[in-house]
Structure 1
């Protein structure tokens, strides 16, 4: 597994990251612990979680269970030194966490301590804000995104409050590095500019959706990442299972995410299955497992990426890990770019 620096920090992470958002719900603890063992044995040292996990569905009564499952693995194995842990504080929400209240400096200090307790560790390697409080165009909100109601000064003041609290946590040895999630290019540069001007911790990463079917990151975010040394932690690199092919031709496997929430968070669209089939056909033409092609493509990008993938079961994880050494030819990469032009933004 290739190791890459996390932003401008001295933290080295694998370019694949094990996502844990089903742990404690769809994935029981025994299977989750097996998955972590498998991932570490395959050379993956990076785990991503969040205080609001597990999902499918998100419920107030299950908040924190994914962190607890990881913490129990650490306590059982004593292998804390083998993993880099990333977690997140929730923004405004329908009531899952803190009765819907988002985050400010005071919440950050409280939430860090709560996550440390659940994770049974003394330090969180990467602490992220799950989404910006001013709003976000992620999760299909790009189609109707309207930032005209934002107050610039309120946003900057909020950033300084949060960055100051994060600095306190860094000084206390509770976190090592910080990052954002579901953020824009403007947002990332402002977080970074504010931090640099005030001598506060600098954003090392941004966790945004990125896959063969979702390439919003390829323009202004890519430019930001290259110039500011921000590592992309790409979530849903398999497009919530679409790129495995399991939902083609009307199939909805029992227990799958589509069976649980219907539209895959807005990813199910009139055009998505045609686009997916094009990528499935390309993989077949080159003798590739489409899962392996989708994951290997992440390594071809002209910016730093650690791709966050999840597996509901250890069997699914085994399939993904089997493609850890796959390298795509220039011909396949070029063909992928052509398919992106033919099927832009299918959801």
Structure 2
């Protein structure tokens, strides 16, 4: 396992970050503990949670992921400083009214309340990294393909207020460092500037969706994170399991899979060129003697702008397969073959197949 500096912070994180969003829904506390034990035995020191987890978000289950992690922390025998915990405060959402007194927003009061609740569920006195899960302002995300000017809002929480709250949390010792998620180049630059104005430490990370099928961050965001010493943490490196090849030839998602939980995602996959593109990557992986999942994860890990790749699993066996991706020797031949496939399928999620709608 490799270890890399987390942006401008003083933390060294493993190149693999363990994702947790299925724990409490698709996984029991015992299964979560087994995954944590396996990951830490193999050198992982970094885990990612969020106040809204598990997903899909439900009032009755919200916070179960944190509680599963807290249970493991109490019983696994590892020192607190051996576990780097990243969590996320929810962005603007009018539906999650049970989490606060009204919609979730990224105001100073809500950020601080979110952290206090997360610390209580986890049973710890500080978070190593707190990220804004998605912006308070409108941005295209979660499958949106273009900026829609009609969705802009005038009431977005100012960048300065958010940065000031993060600075207060760092000063209080409740948070060691802070970062962003589902962000844009503009957002990164604005938050860095806001932190400077407020005398707060700058954001040290941005966590965005990135994979062989979703490489839009290479245009714009990579320049921003490199320039501002912000760690890039890709999530969904398997595109919700699509790049593992397990959905090939299926007319509907199997029970118990991520795409079954999000039917619209499967429809989007089935009606684009993504399946054809995945088949090309599968053949490339098999030609090099590795699994499709290992290829997809190794691709992310090999990018010079990536600090740590977030992987999730619903079983220890699946986790072990995914962890193999961090041991793949990346060669010039692999790089050239991926460039060739990417040139043919530059944006497979948005390349609609004939008759697909």
TM-score range, shorter chain: over 0.9
Displacement after TM superposition at 1:103 (Å): 2.1
Structure-2 residue corresponding to 1:314:
316
Is the partner of 1:142 in helix, strand or coil?
coil
Q: Secondary structure at the match of 2:264?
A: coil
Once the two structures are TM-superposed, the CA of residue 138 in structure 1 deviates from its matched residue by 2.0
CA contact (8 A) 2:234 2:309 kept: yes
TM-score, normalized by length of structure 2?
A: 0.92
SS of the residue aligned with 2:302?
Answer: coil
1:141 to 136, 141, 144: 144
Cα deviation for residue 159 of structure 1 reads 1.4
How far 1:298 sits from its partner (Å)? 1.2
1:258 and 2:244 correspond: no
State the secondary structure of the residue aligned to 2:60.
helix
Q: How does 1:267-282 map to 2 (within 5 A)?
A: 267-268=268-269, 269-282=271-284
1:118 and 2:121 correspond: yes
Change beyond 3 A, Cα 1:267–1:119: farther
Secondary structure, aligned partner of 2:158: helix
Contact 2:170/2:176 (CA < 8 Å) preserved in 1?
yes
Shift of 1:61: 1.3
Question: What is the Cα deviation at residue 329 of structure 1?
Answer: 1.1
What is the alpha-carbon distance in structure 2 between the residues aligned to residue 279 and residue 135 of structure 1?
Answer: 34
Query: Within 1, Cα distance between the matches of 2:190 and 2:150?
Result: 17
Cα distance in 2 between the residues matched to 1:226 and 1:148: 31
Separation (CA, whole Å) in 2 of partners of 1:328 and 1:28: 35
Report the equivalent of 2:355: none
Q: Which runs of 5+ in 2 are unaligned?
A: 350-357
Instruction: Tell me, yes or no, if the aligned pair for 1:179 and 1:204 is still in contact at 8 Å.
Output: yes
- How many residue pairs match? The answer is 343
User: Which deviations, in whole Å up to 9, do the C-alpha atoms of 1:128-161 show, x marking residues without a partner?
Assistant: 1111111222212124x22466468x65x62111
Greater Cα shift, 118-127 or 98-107:
98-107
Residues 148 and 197 (structure 1 numbering): CA distance in 2 closer, same or farther, change over 3 Å? farther
The answer to whether the aligner puts 1:39 opposite 2:42 as a matched pair is no
Mapping for residues 15-94 of structure 1, pairs under 5 Å: 15-55=15-55, 57-79=56-78, 80-93=80-93, 94=95
Q: Distance in 2 between matches of 1:183 and 1:102?
A: 16
Aligned counterparts of 1:198 and 1:106: Cα–Cα separation in 2 = 17
Residue 188 of structure 2 contacts residue 225 of structure 2 at CA under 8 Å; is this kept in 1? no
* Preserved CA contact (<8 Å) 2:138 2:153: no
Following superposition of structure 1 onto structure 2, how do residues 121-270 of structure 1 map, counting pairs within 5 Å? 121-143=124-146, 145-147=147-149, 150=152, 158-250=158-250, 252-264=253-265, 267-268=268-269, 269-270=271-272
Q: Do structure 1's residue 4 and structure 2's residue 4 form an aligned pair? A: yes
Q: 1:5 to 1:216 in 2, by over 3 A?
A: same
Residue pair 2:167, 2:201 contacting (<8 A) in 1 also: yes
Per the TM alignment, residue 8 of structure 1 is displaced from its structure 2 partner at its CA by 0.5
Confirm or deny: 8 A CA contact 1:209 1:234 kept in the other structure. yes
* Cα RMSD (Å): 1.7
